[in-house]
Structure 1
């Protein structure tokens, strides 16, 4: 048991040293933040055609704030904004899909029965 713990400690030591390097941690968080922003951007791009003008402005402004947070601000705070933006975009898309399901499907060949 002690041997396993020692081996785990030796394996984790280089990771622990890397994790204590503030510059490396900042770089890693910026990469994570940029990946989160890219994911939110994909969701937003899909929702924009269905969004109202107000919703579109909110999403575009939110994405710009998110990207600035990744590069100039606190990437940890910015990463938390990405799912919120994607959730808003998802709700816009879901609303459009739900409305499409409630449209009656009548073909032009069908004639009403009398």
Structure 2
């Protein structure tokens, strides 16, 4: 994958994700989260740290662009589940669910075409 094509994919994903987030906040009444994400409980925090460590080791063995989107898929999937299970009334899980699906689509796109 060339650097330019990867940059276009990243920028398109960021734009789509931001546009959906703004739309979902207005439509569903999702409160604005704090600037830095706070885990729902300590288990989620430990799992996210473990995923980050695994990303560091896997980048040495596998292509970084594939591992980046796979990491985003796993991280957003974990956040979706935790937000849905423990803080359902805030509806923040809708945004993380969309980000999970978007990360999966981009991961599949990268795996098929590159």
TM-score calculated relative to the size of structure 2? 0.37
Structure showing greater Rg:
1
Task: State TM-score, norm by structure 1.
Answer: 0.37
